[in-house]
A and B are shown apart, each in its own frame.
Chain A
Amino acid sequence: MEAIYLDHAATTPVHEEVIEAMIPVYREVFGNPSSIHQHGRKARQILDEARRNIASVLGANEKEIIFTSGGTEADNLAIFGVTENTGKSHIITTSIEHHAVLHTMQELEKQGWEVTYVDPEPDGAVDPEKIEAALREDTVLVSVMMVNNETGVKQPVERIADILEDHTAYFHSDAVQALGIEDIDVKTMNVDLMAFSGHKISGPKGIGFLYATEGIPLKSRTFGGEQERKRRAGTENVQAVKGLEKAVQLLKDNKQERVEEYSKYKTLFLETLNDQEVPYQVNGMNAVASIVNLSFSDMNVETMLTNFDLEKVSASSGSACTAGSVEPSHVLSAMFPEEPERMTNSIRFSFGAANDEANVKEAAMRVAAIYTRLNK
């Protein structure tokens, strides 16, 4: 039985060209980019080039790109970085952020910050007016993700940026799930900070970056060398940066086709479920092409996911796992406070590079067969 991967929102297979790009760096470029000799310079060249190329894809300038170990560190650096040296006052975020943001906010709360968590509407998106209503004179930071990782629902980041135009608060957006699927131009979007990850876009794990608009006072979270213009100490992961650069460039090349492709997969998946008479509800509206979150009434998420895996279909649910048990999703509970059953019967399927029409259809058939068997 072919193993079918429908969990691209968790991570993605590394693109062959990414691997190809990294191998020569592993083989030949081992220098420390901070060294003043030729070995160091070679490595530094790779970093500089990658930084320039990545910046240009996002409409940023290269000084605004800070390499990190991934999306989580980028979120942490953004949030702690701009709040470190200001008086403890007020932050606005949403209740559907990734834990990289939510738990960072909770940490700040412990340190005395006041954080407003804006709930989403039942369609999964945050109402920008509610962000506006929560704004105070002493609001220092607003953090709203671009695409929700569980439902795929796009958040009104640009409208929020407009609202903040005349406010001193910094605007951070976790764009980990958006990169490669949504158009991102940091200047026209008017964000101050944006977090990205390599492994969600067919790049390597252990690498990501933060866009931080030039001139923003950002305190480092790590202490040591003076890498990343003193904002992120530690020898750079040169090979992974090379891979990240390649992955970002590949995104740009065929974005339109790719998004259409994923869209087709999603439609095919849902149509197959319909044909097999599997009832479901889609959690959230206006989701990105690659993610769909489905609620199957009277089903139990643990039983379903375990069965899927035993039938070699990889999908996921919720976001946090404690002792392996799936904890109720904070995203769905914020969207459907009156429907707790959705938290225990919903599954996220996410499409991407590991899919083709045949295996998406096959996966839907397996899901339908499991549903039918369990529903007896």
Chain B
Amino acid sequence: MKEPKDTRVVVGMSGGVDSSVAALLLKEQGYDVVGIFMKNWDDTDENGVCTATEDYEDVIRVCNQLDIPYYAVNFEKQYWDKVFTYFLDEYKAGRTPNPDVMCNKEIKFKAFMEHAMSLGADYLATGHYARVRENEGVYEMLRGVDDNKDQTYFLNQLDQNALSKTMFPLGDIPKPEVREIALRNGLATAKKKDSTGICFIGERNFKEFLSEYLPAQPGKMQTLSGEVKGEHDGLMYYTLGQRQGLGIGGAGDPWFVVGKNIQDNILYVGQGFDHEALYSEALVATEVNWTTGKAPEEPFTCTAKFRYRQKDSSVTVYPLSEDQVKVVFDARERAITPGQAVVFYDGDVCLGGATIDEVEKNNQPMSHVG
């Protein structure tokens, strides 16, 4: 193992407080730290204002405070090809994609990592809340100690190659303490608001954004038994279990999205948060990644998350092929959504994850889910 001073660590810096503190901690530990800002999306508005420019300004200010070199790299093309195209394709298919998972897989821990390595870096560090632990030559990814902020859900596609060269300096620290460190050190980004939502959409209206790229096809909104309840604006604007924006009035329980029929452009709705049609017992997922690089051959039990920030659920995983698993839930689950990730855990260790393709009940695919 090299001395920290001989170990070059490239920190992916977004201009936010987390990556700022990640850089600060590495610098304090004596590493040869290089800050790099990634520009993945151009959102320059009619006034020439671009959030990337503002964010990079923050990166510059923090790096100058830390006295580390800073650079920027442009991955707009790769991001468009690998992340945004996927994002649109999934919406076109009526699914609910997770661009953050894809961005980590294809951009941050692939293209960006290659860039870092081409600069002679030994490691790539980010401000994610996760941990890496080496265990007899195997790199394991662990949840961040701050349960509230743990980001392994988004990192489920990382493999051994990526993990062996990754540092997560914030993994052991609760988020409030990260803010405190930033404040104590007077970092320029100490009071900056955390970014929310999908990075390329930012604060904008999601529906408006999507309509700029995909033609919306309004259609019927009906119950599973065929009763028409109104019009929908386009299937892509709705996700399973959603309550807002349906505009169905009348007596009784509120209405929820319970399914989609892509072929006939129908949005299925049902009454009540706990509508039966929202509940499933198993799922089939593809694009499976095992973070340890070792694919299990036998069925096993573990816990899983089907959405970010959800509590873990107990499941049994049945490997179907190298790229496909069936996941059977101990207790039925509400609103499992195709396109989202299912992520597996053994205690704190994130075993990997996959993309939800099909949802099942009574061993039958739930066709109304899409």
Q: Is the CB of B56 within 8 A of A324?
A: yes
A107 to chain B, nearest CB (A): 13
A321 to B56, CA, bound (A): 11
Q: Which of B68-76, B124-132, B299-307 contacts A (4 or more CB under 8 A)?
A: B68-76
A321 to chain B, nearest CB (A): 8
What is the chain A residue whose CB lies nearest that of B55? A323
Is B115 interfacial (CB-CB < 8 Å)?
Answer: yes
A321 to B60, CA, bound (A): 13
Residue from A309, A310, A325 within 8 A of B73 (CB atoms): A325
What is the chain B residue whose CB lies nearest that of A344? B74
B47 to chain A, nearest CB (A): 14
Given A302-B71, A309-B69, A310-B34, are A325 and B118 neighbors across the interface (CB < 8 Å)?
A: no
Q: Is the CB of A309 within 8 A of B53?
A: no
Q: Is the CB of A307 within 8 A of B119?
A: yes
Number of A-B contacts (CB under 8 A): 50
Interface string of B92-129 (1 = CB under 8 A from A): 00000000000000000000000100111000000000
Q: Is the CB of B74 within 8 A of A325?
A: yes
What is the chain A residue whose CB lies nearest that of B15? A323
Within A84-133, which residues are at the interface with B (CB < 8 Å)? none
Is A23 interfacial (CB-CB < 8 Å)?
Answer: no
Q: With a CB–CB cut-off of 8 A, which chain A residues contact B56?
A: 323-324
A310 to B33, CA, bound (A): 11
Given A323-B52, A323-B55, A324-B37, are A303 and B118 neighbors across the interface (CB < 8 Å)?
A: yes
Q: Is the CB of B53 within 8 A of A310?
A: no
Q: Is the CB of B115 within 8 A of A323?
A: no
A324 to B53, CA, bound (A): 8
Is A374 interfacial (CB-CB < 8 Å)?
Answer: yes
B244 to chain A, nearest CB (A): 34
Q: Is the CB of A307 within 8 A of B120?
A: yes
Interface string of A334-376 (1 = CB under 8 A from B): 0000000000000000000000000000000000000000100
Q: With a CB–CB cut-off of 8 A, which chain A residues contact B331?
A: none
Residue from B37, B59, B69, B74 within 8 A of A310 (CB atoms): B69
A271 to chain B, nearest CB (A): 27
A322 to B39, CA, bound (A): 10
Q: With a CB–CB cut-off of 8 A, which chain A residues contact B34?
A: 310
Residue count of chain B within 8 Å CB distance of chain A:
21
Q: Is the CB of A323 within 8 A of B71?
A: no
Interface string of B35-54 (1 = CB under 8 A from A): 01101000000000010110
Question: Do most interface residues of chain A lie in helix, strand or loop, or is the interface mixed?
Answer: helix
Q: Which of B39, B60, B74, B115: most chain A Cβ within 10 A?
A: B74
Residue from A322, A324, A374 within 8 A of B71 (CB atoms): A324
What is the chain B residue whose CB lies nearest that of A325? B74
Q: Is the CB of B72 within 8 A of A310?
A: no
Given A323-B52, A323-B53, A324-B56, are A303 and B119 neighbors across the interface (CB < 8 Å)?
A: yes
Q: With a CB–CB cut-off of 8 A, which chain B residues contact A305?
A: 71
Residue from B50, B71, B118 within 8 A of A309 (CB atoms): B71
Q: Is the CB of B69 within 8 A of A303?
A: no
What is the chain A residue whose CB lies nearest that of B70? A324
Q: Is the CB of B72 within 8 A of A323?
A: yes
What is the chain A residue whose CB lies nearest that of B121? A310
Is A306 interfacial (CB-CB < 8 Å)?
Answer: yes
Q: Is the CB of B50 within 8 A of A323?
A: yes
B111 to chain A, nearest CB (A): 11
Q: With a CB–CB cut-off of 8 A, which chain B residues contact A321?
A: 72
Q: A306-B119, A307-B120, A323-B39 are in contact. List 17 more A-B contacts (CB 8 A).
A: A302-B72, A302-B74, A303-B73, A303-B115, A306-B36, A306-B73, A309-B69, A310-B34, A321-B72, A322-B39, A323-B52, A323-B53, A323-B56, A323-B72, A324-B39, A325-B72, A325-B74
14 interchain pairs, CB-CB under 8 A: A302-B71, A302-B72, A302-B74, A302-B115, A303-B119, A307-B120, A310-B34, A310-B69, A310-B120, A323-B37, A323-B53, A324-B56, A325-B73, A326-B74
Spell out B's residues near A (CB within 8 Å). 34, 36-37, 39, 50, 52-53, 55-56, 59-60, 69-74, 115, 118-120
